[in-house]
Amino acid sequence: MARSIPPSRMRCPRPHVPRALLAAVLPSSLLAAGLPAQDPALAAAAPTAKLPQGAAPAGQDPAGQNPAGQNPAMPAARSPAPGQGQPVQQQAPGKAGAAAGQTVVVTASRREQDPFEAPRAIDVVSSQDLQRYQFRSTPQALRYLPSAMIQETSPGQGSPFLRGFTGYNNLLLIDGIRVNNSTFRSGPNQYWATVDPLSLDRIEVLRGPASTQWGSDAVGGAVQAITKGPSLRAVDGVRYGGATYGRYATAEDSPVARGEAQVAWGREGGLRSAALIGGDARAIGDIEGGADTGTQPNTSHKETAFDIKLEHELSKHTKLVFLHQEMSQNNVPRTHATVSAERWRGSAAGSDLQRELDQDRRLSYVQLHQSGLDGAFTSARYSVSFQTQREVEERLRTSGVGAQEFEVGTLGMFAQFESDLGALGTLTYGVDYYRDDVDSRSTGVGANPFQGQVGDNARYDLFGVFAQDEVDLGGGLSAQAGVRYTYAAADADSVRSPTSNTAGIAVKDNWDEVTANVNLRQELTERWNVYAGASQGFRAPTLSDLTSFTVARSGEQEIASPGLDAEHFLGYELGSKVRTGDLQLQAAWYWTDIEDQIVRTPTGTTVGTPPLPAIAKSNAGDGYVQGTELQLAYEVVERTTAFVVNSWQYGRVDGFDASRNPITDYTSRIMPMTTIVGLRWENQPGDFHCGTEVVRAEDADKLSVGDQGDTQRIPPGGTPSYTLWHLRCGFRLDERASLEIACENVTDVDHRVHGSGSNGLGRNFIIGMSVTF
């Protein structure tokens, strides 16, 4: 059994609920090309609690100015398709709030922007999408986006592949703060699953290299989770309210309960403050696969989460924000590596009797938001944060129990400014700094006397200075150009020698890089534009690259690899966006050049107890990934919308075969051709909706050498194709309560998302209910 996180490190959860579960529209993964927000008819019909006098309704932005996701340009009864998103208008970095009804994102350029006007592919998973689709985890919330494949080693883990990249080659942010740290592993890892989806207002996904805006790791894309803030506002006195939410899914046997409380206080003409406190608990049972798979043993785990956000308005244009959030996962299995693994289509089982993870992540920050300033800059945002992440992995073998664990504390700071340069455009610029301090150890069978998964007594620094200008060139042509300088340094005092189990070494190195981007947008009409650009990506080697000593893939032992160089990427993108009364469309072609990618290389030796084939890392990967994306939503008749999402991908990269001979190989885990088609309808009062989606994934048979060797997760010859059919409907029971019901995988198909460690869910009935008070 894996070690549970000690009670002293856990928090008692307090329940929460989304307020307008039914007034949402289907997932917003389809056209984040800038699809407008929730239509006014739906917003008017949304269930809202009877709040005390002076309180703003749920879904309003923290400044109390922007109705939740509304956009007057969107006709009544319009529902975007998955991925097109209706973002809730929460305050963006450096702003006091967008104009009423305006749909904005902040990830594409680090400033408020209509996603339709961004010269990049960007999607929004809105609060309505999170509520209506009742996603089990944050990675699962991205599954309707183009060029996004969600690999899950188990239901408690999840690693999105974005435009062919995963793990530490994608950057995760929370309210502008990096979640990635120097212990994140290459390949699919589990860390994104430690972000509680029920604590989020929306998720913004910028696809393609974004290192100019966000620094190291932003290669496949940058994903920003925007947290919920208090929606109550008190003009004079004290106001309070709250909500509860419950969910149950049959194929997961997973009860979920969340509660939320809000309080606001202030005086007329004076300062105002507000707080939101929420928490939840969930238990995932042994999951049920399709008709022939049945129950998959040893796939259950438990989670708890807690969050609090305080906002204090110092003046009309200045706000102080404090947030603390935490999530704990207990006994999350890596079933594929055990004797209990599902032997599907010839896949192999592991040799461990049991292998489990405990994870504990905490984030606290204080931020100051300013807007409407006079002088050198028009807005500013300052942030100081501290995060801790603790991971314990225990393995039960026939020879006994062994454990590896590490804890990393990350201090983060950034300052960001915006200046109006008149004819020279709008300049966004700033500085950021992060420092990791890492402790790592191992015990029991196969214990390493020097470290756990990564080097012990280690430090990692990441510093960046950035600037990006957006300028109107006239004639409907606009440009976005930016530059960033990044410096990274690693220093680990206690690392197991790659050649000896009885010797320790120290690893110390540093890297710096200048990255840039240039993106152009041509407005053909008010509702149709085309865009093109080139953006650099960059990733400095981390402690995971340089000092790792852990089992990788299906039974390989990764060893320390000092002396690595940085990875370099250059992404090209050409696309078009359309937004009319009936049609929403976004299409893109992308190509990402890969240079000096860090790849796993067989050493021809064995290491560890029991002995396993040793692999090291080297900068041998040169190649490319290319693909196409299509997102379309069309109102076929009044109040009825059809939508399509299609993704195609292909990639090649240099590597090594099992005999250590250099080869040109497929990139790992190439996403198979995937198409989503669907239809949705909403009645005139907006108190009932229904919809259906069909998901088709073709054969995933373009396997790299590493994929072929990952026999516990990938069947011989690749992962077979599958077709899934989902049904959904929702009801507003009264002004305070709403209900969502879904049947996913109606035909109970056996299937596996490419590279996952267990089969996908069979027929799964989901019911969720929210009540506000």
* Residue predicted with more confidence, 179 or 20: 179
Q: What is the pLDDT of residue 268?
A: 78
The proportion of the chain whose per-residue pLDDT surpasses 70, expressed as a percent, equals 87
Range with the lowest mean pLDDT among 258-262, 447-451, 642-646?
447-451
Cα separation, 50 vs 686, in Å, equals 19
Average pLDDT of the segment spanning 510-530: 97
What does the DSSP assignment read for 640-686?
Answer: EEEEEEEEEEEEEEEEE-TTS-EEEEEPTTPPPPEEEEEEEEE-TTS
* Residue predicted with more confidence, 83 or 712: 712
Say if residues 367 and 93 touch (Cβ distance below 8 Å).
Answer: no
- Tell me: pLDDT of 18 over 60: no
- Tell me: pLDDT of 395 over 60: yes
- Tell me: pLDDT of 698 over 80: yes
Average pLDDT of the segment spanning 392-419: 95
Q: What is the pLDDT of residue 271?
A: 78
* Residue predicted with more confidence, 277 or 614: 277
Say if residues 694 and 723 touch (Cβ distance below 8 Å).
Answer: yes
Average pLDDT, the chain: 87
- Whole-number CA gyration radius for the chain: 25
**554 confidence band (pLDDT: 50, 70, 90):** low
- Tell me: pLDDT of 235 over 70: yes
Average pLDDT of the segment spanning 499-508: 89
Q: What is the pLDDT of residue 431?
A: 98
- Tell me: pLDDT of 135 over 80: yes
pLDDT digits (tens, 9 = 90+) for 711-726: 999 999 999 999 999 9
- Tell me: pLDDT of 499 over 90: no
- Tell me: pLDDT of 10 over 70: no
Q: What is the pLDDT of residue 65?
A: 31
Sign of the C-alpha dihedral, residues 106, 437, 183, 508?
positive
Q: Is the peptide bond before 36 cis (omega within 30 degrees of 0)?
A: no
Q: What is the pLDDT of residue 269?
A: 73
pLDDT digits (tens, 9 = 90+) for 182-210: 999 988 889 999 999 999 999 999 999 99
pLDDT digits (tens, 9 = 90+) for 99-115: 334 568 899 999 999 99
The b/e string for 492-503 (b: 16+ C-beta within 10 A; e otherwise) is bbbbbebeeeee
Range with the lowest mean pLDDT among 52-61, 433-442, 455-464, 517-526?
52-61
What is residue 709's three-state secondary structure? helix
- Tell me: pLDDT of 769 over 70: yes
Task: Give which of 609, 1, 612, 610 is closest to 357, Cα–Cα.
Answer: 1
**444 confidence band (pLDDT: 50, 70, 90):** very high
- Tell me: pLDDT of 55 over 60: no
**84 confidence band (pLDDT: 50, 70, 90):** low
**500 confidence band (pLDDT: 50, 70, 90):** confident
Average pLDDT of the segment spanning 345-350: 94
- Tell me: pLDDT of 355 over 60: yes
What's the token pair of residue 481? 């150009």
pLDDT digits (tens, 9 = 90+) for 21-49: 223 323 333 333 333 333 333 233 333 33
Task: Give which of 112, 210, 122, 91 is closest to 426, Cα–Cα.
Answer: 112
Range with the lowest mean pLDDT among 477-481, 556-560, 639-643, 678-682?
556-560
Q: What is the pLDDT of residue 446?
A: 82
- Tell me: pLDDT of 459 over 90: yes
pLDDT digits (tens, 9 = 90+) for 292-301: 999 999 999 9
**17 confidence band (pLDDT: 50, 70, 90):** very low
What's the token pair of residue 468? 């990006």
Q: How far is CA 115 from CA 52, 84, 85, 158, in A?
A: 35, 10, 10, 27
Q: What is the pLDDT of residue 603?
A: 82
Q: What is the pLDDT of residue 91?
A: 36
Roughly how many angstroms between the first and final C-alpha of the chain, as a whole number? 41
Q: What is the pLDDT of residue 50?
A: 33
Sign of the C-alpha dihedral, residues 123, 584, 629, 590?
negative
Q: What is the pLDDT of residue 72?
A: 26
Q: What is the pLDDT of residue 77?
A: 33
Q: What is the pLDDT of residue 767?
A: 97
Q: Any idea what DSSP says for residue 66?
A: S
- Tell me: pLDDT of 344 over 70: yes
Range with the lowest mean pLDDT among 11-15, 141-145, 763-767?
11-15
- Tell me: pLDDT of 83 over 50: yes
Cα separation, 42 vs 46, in Å, equals 6
What is residue 708's three-state secondary structure? helix
What's the token pair of residue 428? 């966004």
Q: Phi then psi for 575, rounded to 5 degrees? A: -155, 180
Q: What is the pLDDT of residue 103?
A: 63
Q: What is the pLDDT of residue 236?
A: 86
* Residue predicted with more confidence, 309 or 77: 309
- Tell me: pLDDT of 16 over 70: no
**595 confidence band (pLDDT: 50, 70, 90):** very high
